[in-house]
Amino acid sequence: QVQLVQSGAEVKKPGSSVRVSCKASGGTFSTYTFNWVRQAPGQGLEWMGRIIPVYDTTSYAQDFQGRVIFSADESTMTAYMELSRLRFEDTAVYYCASPNLLPSADDSFEIWGQGTFVTVSS
Amino acid sequence: DIVLTQSPGSLSLSPGDRATLSCRASQSVKSNYLAWYRQKPGQAPRLLISGASSRATGIPDRFSGSGSGSGTDFTLTISRLEPEDFAVYYCHQYGSSPTFGQGTKVEVK
């Protein structure tokens, strides 16, 4: 069974950094594309960017350029999102999401992690 | 970036009713790469429809999606609302730099 399992909730101070992990199980790691999506409390979904490990490529949404880094470790089948210079408004649930692993699938987000709640508080 | 505008913002309906949700794009969505998700409180979104009209694995046929020929207007229809369908629905374009609509909440009347 293909699934993504994320790391636990974090509480961080403004100006610090947070790293969230997303561990894949089932399927071949090279077939995953890890998108990162966040959702502030009571708000909608916001795409932060993606990493495609097999091509070692990353794309970042403009709003996060320079403040977020995506990485992936094939040996542990884990992707990471590190967000720096945290602000109060970065308080949100952070999700990793991947398209279906079948070659015929398109890039819609069929597989989701359970979410990681990051609280930024002084 | 493509802006997606969903309407209405909320919908009050009863179980068994038909729900029609709209999503309008600020420019044409490439190859109809438009998806719909349902999100229940405290849960991750679940993919319902991809490619504007293809149901995802395990999604019942009471959910259907359609798009206009212009590539800017899309509709999600739920033919008969079940209790688990009272939730928030998001559209999502993934033809270019991905964006989401702001959501439509379907609530019990």
Q: Please report, rounded to a whole number, the percentage of residues in chain A having pLDDT higher than 90.
A: 88
pLDDT of amino acid A79: 97
Which pLDDT score is estimated for B68?
Answer: 86
> DSSP states of A51-119 as a string?
EETTTTEEEE-GGGTTTEEEEEEGGGTEEEEEE-S--GGG-EEEEEEE--SSTT--SS--EE---EEEE
Task: Check residue B109 and give its pLDDT.
Answer: 95
Reply yes or no on whether the pLDDT at A105 is more than 90: no
Measure CB to CB from residue B44 to each of A100, A106, A114 and give the nearest one. A114
> Which of A78, A49, A80, A47 is CA-nearest to residue A66?
A49
pLDDT(B96) > 90:
no
Res. A104 pLDDT band, cuts 50 70 90: confident
**Taking CB atoms and an 8 Å limit, are A115 and B44 in contact across chains?**
yes
pLDDT of residue B19: 98
For B105, the closest chain A residue by CA position comes to A44
| Mean pLDDT score, A72-81 | 96
A59: confidence class by pLDDT, cuts 50, 70, 90: very high
Q: What is the largest distance, in Å, between two alpha-carbon atoms of chain B?
A: 37
Q: Provide the pLDDT for residue A101.
A: 86
Q: Does B55 touch chain A (CB under 8 A)?
A: no
- B47 close to A (CB below 8 A): yes
Q: Does any CB of chain A come closer than 8 Å to the CB of residue B101?
A: yes
Distance from CA of B16 to the nearest CA of A (A): 27
pLDDT digits (tens, 9 = 90+) for B11-37: 999 999 999 999 999 999 998 999 999
Contacts of A113 in chain B (CB under 8 A): 44
Tell me what the mean pLDDT of segment B71-91 comes to.
97
pLDDT at A3: 95
The beta-carbon neighbor of A45 closest among B50, B57, B100 is: B100
Q: Which of B50, B57, B102 has its CB closest to that of A44?
A: B102
Please state, rounded to an integer, the average pLDDT across all residues of chain B. Answer: 96
- Window from B36-40, B68-72, B82-86 with minimum mean pLDDT: B68-72
The verdict on B50 touching A (C-beta cutoff 8 Å) is yes
Most distant CA atoms of chain A, gap in Å = 47
The predicted structure's pLDDT at residue B69: 81
Contacts of B32 (CB under 8 A, 6+ apart): B51, B52, B53, B67, B71, B95
A81-96 mean pLDDT: 98
